[in-house]
Amino acid sequence: MRVFVGLLLVVLMSVSQTAAAQVKVNVYLHQSAEQPGDVTWQKSYELSQPERISQVYERILSDLNADDLAQINWSASRLSSDFLQARLERHRERMVEQLDQLARHWSRQDEQQVADSIKRLAAQVSRWPLQATYSFNLTPDQTRLILQQNPLLTRADGRVFNWHLYSFPHKALTFGLPEDLAGVDNDFLWRVLPNGTVAKQPVAYYNKRLPAACYQHDERSPIQSVNADQAQRCAIKGNLIHSVRLLSEYWLTDETEQLDLELMLLAKFILPNGGQS
């Protein structure tokens, strides 16, 4: 009897451990550049123990036909989780709140046109179609070859992971404020590169020959704030890059001096071909 109870305990413990470790991975394939939100193939995998993303890829190999597989643009793929998405939404709420406060500040200073521009930006930010992303450009071959580039999917980072695969490239879109509004920065344009790097690019007549300041995406801390000291010089040459026009530094207060960088932490997660807000 004692042996039976012991065995039962072992079984129960192993079952509870399995349940605790279980995560779900949803893989979505998007094949229409015109309807980027449409899912043309979907598969869910229940993982009874933590797995690396390369192991999920091996499952996809068995389930997806060769032509569809060959057409995936891995540089546009995005890996997310429910936990990360929730953190991103909290960051968005904070940003909208800050923008509202900034608008009230300039309204009190009788700068109503600037306040209106800021309100308009806040409304747009609240509508941006965002997909929190650990990894941009997650290519299966690199995950299989380099362990550090092969994320482990565990309950610590999410109960549900979503891997969005696209059969088309990013389309270059422009977000933010129109250039003719009060308070808008027309000397610099913020850019989002397909690999998640954010860049502040000089675009005015007097500074457009200067290099841009690039901020690399950190897949270990995707929504971590950055500051200007972390910028690296870079040259923007491509045509597949989102543009975001934000406020001139002149209108940022001491409390909001890093607002543009904080907003770009959101903008880099705008969905490929996410459409104008």
Partner 1 sequence: MTTKTMHHSRLFLPSLAAVVLLSGCMNRVESMKETLAFAWSGNQDVTVTQERLDEINYPMMYARFNQQRRIALGLGFDDNDQYKWLSGDQEVVVTRHGRVIQTQGVSGNLNELAWVSNLSNDPLKCLTQLNSQCSLTWQAQVQSGVAQEASIQAITSQFSRIGSETLELPINRSINTVHWREQITQDNGTTWTNDYWLSTETGRVVKSSQQLTDALPRVVTEELKPYKKDLQKPSNSNRGAN
63-102: which residues touch partner 1 (CB under 8 A)? 64-67, 69-71, 73-76, 84, 87, 91
Which pair of structure tokens corresponds to residue 189?
């344009």
* Helices (H), ranges, the chain: 2-21, 53-63, 66-70, 82-108, 112-125, 140-145, 259-267
**Closer residue to partner 1 (CB): 34 or 110:** 34
Strand partners, 132: none
Which stretch in 16-24, 52-60, 101-109, 176-184 sits in contact with partner 1 by CB under 8 A? 52-60
Residue from the set 36, 222, 272, 274 that interacts with partner 1 by CB under 8 A = 222
Contacts (CB under 8 A) with partner 1, residues 256-275: 256-259, 262
**Closer residue to partner 1 (CB): 82 or 157:** 157
The yes or no reply on residue 103 touching partner 1 (CB under 8 A) is no
**Considering the complex, what minimum distance in angstroms separates the CB of residue 110 from partner 1?**
25
CA atoms within 13 A on the CB side of 106: 22
Which stretch in 3-11, 46-54, 117-125, 269-277 sits in contact with partner 1 by CB under 8 A? 46-54
Burial status of residue 219 (CB atoms within 10 A of its CB: 0-12, 13-18, 19 or more): middle
Site size toward partner 1 (CB under 8 A) is 73
Question: In angstroms, rounded to a whole number, what is the distance separating the alpha carbons of residues 123 and 32?
Answer: 28
Question: In angstroms, rounded to a whole number, what is the distance separating the alpha carbons of residues 99 and 152?
Answer: 36
Which stretch in 7-15, 62-70, 102-110, 120-128 sits in contact with partner 1 by CB under 8 A? 62-70
Three-state DSSP at 176 gives strand
**Considering the complex, what minimum distance in angstroms separates the CB of residue 39 from partner 1?**
19
Which stretch in 12-20, 40-48, 122-130, 188-196 sits in contact with partner 1 by CB under 8 A? 188-196
Three-state DSSP at 68 gives helix
Question: In angstroms, rounded to a whole number, what is the distance separating the alpha carbons of residues 173 and 268?
Answer: 12
Three-state DSSP at 260 gives helix
String of contacts with partner 1 for each residue 132-171, x by CB under 8 A: --x-xx-xxxx-xxxxxxxxxxx-xx---------xxxx-
Residue 141 makes CB contacts below 8 A (sequence gap 6+) with none
In angstroms, the Cα distances linking 177 to 49, 92, 160, 186 are 46, 17, 34, 10
**Considering the complex, what minimum distance in angstroms separates the CB of residue 144 from partner 1?**
7
**Considering the complex, what minimum distance in angstroms separates the CB of residue 212 from partner 1?**
8
**Closer residue to partner 1 (CB): 116 or 155:** 155
Residue from the set 117, 133, 197, 273 that interacts with partner 1 by CB under 8 A = 197
